Each structure stands twice: as C-alpha cells, then as structure tokens.
C-alpha cells in the first residue's frame, strides 16, 4: 500500500539523503534478528484451492504508464535486487482502476509502482529496469514493487495471489535473482521493519483476512519460480509434476525481440484472419506460459493469453 502522506515523507527523506549523504533520517527502529525461514511448506487452503482447481496465472500485460522518471536502481539500470509485495487497501478497485488513478495522480501523490495485479490481470505499468516510488528510498532503490488489488471472493483471492506470485517469480527469473524469502522477496511490512522509512504493514493484514500468510505466499512463489527456472535452465519444455494436480501443461517460452524494445503480439479474429495487437506487448527477455501453438501463413504462433499470440521468431 502506498499513501499520500507516507510517500510525501519518503520523498522528503529521499531528497534529504541525496543532499546530506547518508545521515539517518527519522527515528531509530529496533533491528530484528535474521528470521529463520522454515523450509517446510506451510499448509494453505488457498494454495490447495489453486492446485486442486488447476488455476493458472495470467500472462503479464505491459501497458507503459505516465511515470516520467527513469531512475536507475542503486546497482544500475536493469539491476533490481528483488520484489516488494504490497496490497492496495482499496476494496473493489481493479488493476486497471488503480493504473488509471496512479497514471493520473502520481505527480500529486508522489507514489508509483511497477505493477498492479488482480484476479484477472497482471498490469505492468513501468519498465522494471527502472526504480519507482513505492516503499521509501532504500527499498525503492533496490526493488520492483507490485500491488495486489483487494477482491471479495475466495476464488478471486486465489487467482489474484497466483497472479502476484507468478509476477514475482517471473521478475526474479528475468533478473537472474535467487528466490530467498525475506531477502529477494519482502512484504512492505518487512521493508518497514528493516529500514523504518515507512510504517506500512501490507499485505499481512489483508492476507490474514483470507487466512493467508507471507509464508504460504512464499510457497506459491517458489512453485512458479521452480517451474520457470526448471524450464529455462533445463531446456525441457515440460514442467515437472511434483505430485500435486499441476499436470505440467504450462510450458514456458522465453521471448525476445532482437531488433526492438518489446515483443509484439497478434490476435486471431473469428473469421480466421490475424490482427496485430497495438496496445499490448511483452517485455524483452521474459518467460511466458504457453498452452497452444497455431500455424498461420507459414509462421508458428504461441498462445500466451486468451487471444494473444507471439510469433516463434521471437521465442528463444
Ligand atoms: Zn505497501
């Protein structure tokens, strides 16, 4: 969650840090010890629901927004160190609603994130090679920031966290980062405790409303991370069946456009003809689930969303 008041504070802190080097601003926060991560999978009704209903995450929609700052991370452009997990605290607002609001208001509320996720969509609105304003200056300089939208049914919640976990895993894979819970993936709550620049505790409270926890969410990220890693490293086209109801139908392709800044998509119309999609594209060097292939005019296309296909010449 990002709010006007808190982010104003963050911006002021950011300016202060820039002008007076690394003096600590704000109150001293007790440092917690390194938390021991349990390796045992946390039992989760939501994760079971996702498995039992074979819920698959949707593909990432890149819809570059209006945020006009192109700020490198502390390690440089294209070098985030992980992902911060947020939730919006705005019941009923969809990813598109949130994107529209922040694209209009970011320069007034001093807040922007990379992506909003709901039960139907993963909407990436800022190139994740560059930093945004989501969780205070320290975390902003390190992390990709993704917000979960609030929904009102168990099914929608399960789909929304599947999408957020998949987005997180795909960013870790995209940037060659390990999955280390609490380090390369942190909740905004973790960020507040660690650096004390914000007081937000999301998404812990909202997760708890659904009987869900960060540990359970980490299990879900791990599932997608392993699927993506397994496929990209091993060259095998099938993900492995780890005993659940994942039946390995989610093949993953890596796409890249060597001669452009994004990978174009096409749609097939009901009359069988093909049409270029002009308002969406895939980011270069990103992994995608694909469930179907189709030939059209001698070119093979891989399906990455309901009616979004990528030509095989972009598949690495
Ligand atoms: Zn937050």
- The pairing of strands 293-296 and 262-268 is unpaired
CA of 158 to the centre of ligand 1 (A): 20
| d(C-alpha 14, C-alpha 89), whole Å | 24
Q: Ligand 1 centroid to 284 CA: how many Å?
A: 27
Q: Strand ranges (DSSP E) for the chain?
A: 60-62, 82-91, 115-117, 122-124, 143-150, 185-187, 251-255, 262-268, 274-283, 286-290, 293-296, 299-305, 308-311
Residue 109 CA, ligand 1 centroid: distance in Å: 14
Spacing, Cα 163 to ligand 1 middle (Å): 17
pLDDT at 208 over 90: yes
Query: Taking residues 136-150, what's their average pLDDT?
Result: 98
Distance 264 CA to ligand 1 centre (A): 32
Match 């002008």 to its residue by tokens. Answer: 19
**80 C-alpha vs ligand 1 centroid, how far in Å?**
18
Check residue 298 and give its pLDDT.
Answer: 79
Ligand 1 centroid to 307 CA: how many Å?
A: 32
Residue 235, Ramachandran bin (φ over 0: left; ψ between -120 and 50: alpha; else beta): left
Distance from the alpha carbon of residue 203 to the mean position of ligand 1, in angstroms: 7
Distances (CA, A) of 269 to 3, 274, 275, 289: 42, 6, 7, 22
Across residues 171-175, what is the average pLDDT? 97
Distance 120 CA to ligand 1 centre (A): 21
DSSP character for 242? -
Q: Tell which wins on pLDDT, 44 or 244.
A: 44
So what's the pLDDT on residue 18? 34
Task: Indicate the pLDDT class of residue 40, thresholds 50, 70 and 90.
Answer: very low
Ligand 1 centroid from CA 216, angstroms = 19
Count of other CB atoms within 10 angstroms of residue 199: 14
Q: Does residue 183 register a pLDDT over 60?
A: yes
Distance 85 CA to ligand 1 centre (A): 7
154-174 vs 214-234: helix crossing angle, rounded to 10: 50
Check pLDDT > 80 for residue 241: no
Q: What is the mean pLDDT of residues 157-185?
A: 97
Residue 39, pLDDT > 60, answer no
Gap from CA of 145 to ligand 1 centroid (Å)? 9
CA 187 to ligand 1 center in whole angstroms: 8
Percent of the chain past pLDDT 90, that is, above it, reads 59
> For position 257, what pLDDT does the model report?
86
| 78-87, 207-216, 222-231, 248-257: range with lowest mean pLDDT | 248-257
pLDDT computed for residue 61 by the predictor: 96
pLDDT band for position 27 (50/70/90)?
very low
Distance (Å) from CA 2 to ligand 1 centroid: 5
Distance 214 CA to ligand 1 centre (A): 14
pLDDT of residue 232: 54
Q: Is the pLDDT of residue 81 over 90?
A: yes
Distance 193 CA to ligand 1 centre (A): 12
Q: Are 164 and 57 in contact (CB under 8 A)?
A: no
Say if residue 44 is preceded by a cis peptide, omega within 30 of 0.
Answer: no
- Where is average pLDDT lowest: 79-93, 185-199, 252-266? 252-266
What's the 228 CA to ligand 1 centre distance in angstroms? 26
Structure-model confidence comparison of residues 221 and 241, the more confident one: 221
Q: How far apart are CA 316 and CA 313, in angstroms?
A: 8
Question: Could you tell me the distance, in angstroms and rounded to a whole number, from the CA of residue 134 to the centre of ligand 1?
Answer: 7
Tokens matching residue 200: 């937000």
Distance between Cα 283 and ligand 1 center (Å): 25
Mean pLDDT of 157-178: 97
> Does position 192 have pLDDT exceeding 80, yes or no?
yes
**Mean pLDDT for all residues in the chain:** 82
- What local confidence, expressed as pLDDT, does residue 3 receive? 57
Compute, in angstroms, the gap from residue 63 CA to the centroid of ligand 1: 21
Q: Can you give the pLDDT at residue 306?
A: 66
């Amino acid at each position: 969650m990002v709010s006007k008041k808190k982010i104003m504070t963050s911006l002021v802190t950011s300016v202060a840090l820039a002008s007076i080097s690394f003096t600590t601003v704000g109150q001293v926060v007790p440092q917690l010890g390194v938390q021991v991560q349990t390796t045992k999978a946390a039992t989760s009704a939501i994760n079971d629901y996702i498995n039992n209903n074979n819920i698959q995450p949707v593909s990432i929609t890149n819809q570059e927004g209006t945020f006009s700052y192109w700020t490198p991370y502390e390690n440089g452009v294209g070098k985030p160190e992980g992902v911060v997990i947020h939730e919006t605290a705005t019941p009923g607002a969809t990813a598109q609603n949130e994107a529209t609001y922040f694209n209009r208001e970011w320069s007034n509320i001093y807040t922007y994130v990379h992506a909003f996720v709901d039960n139907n969509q993963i909407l990436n609105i800022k190139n994740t090679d560059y930093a945004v304003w989501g969780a205070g200056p320290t975390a902003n300089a390190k992390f990709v920031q993704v917000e979960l939208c609030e929904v009102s049914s168990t099914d929608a919640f399960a789909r929304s966290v599947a999408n957020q976990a998949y987005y997180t895993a795909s960013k870790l894979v995209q940037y060659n980062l390990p999955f280390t819970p609490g380090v390369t993936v942190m909740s905004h709550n973790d960020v507040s405790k660690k650096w004390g620049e914000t007081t937000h505790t999301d998404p812990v409270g909202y997760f708890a409303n659904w009987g869900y926890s960060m540990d359970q969410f980490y299990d879900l990220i791990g599932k997608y991370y392993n699927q993506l890693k397994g496929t990209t490293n091993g060259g095998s086209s099938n993900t492995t069946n780890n005993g659940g109801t994942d039946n390995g139908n989610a093949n993953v392709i890596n796409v890249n456009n060597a001669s452009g800044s994004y990978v174009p998509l096409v749609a097939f119309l009901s009359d069988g003809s093909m049409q270029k999609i002009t308002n969406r594209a895939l980011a270069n060097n990103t992994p995608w689930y694909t469930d179907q292939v189709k030939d059209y005019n001698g070119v093979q296309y891989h399906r990455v969303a309901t009616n979004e296909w990528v030509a095989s010449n972009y598949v690495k």
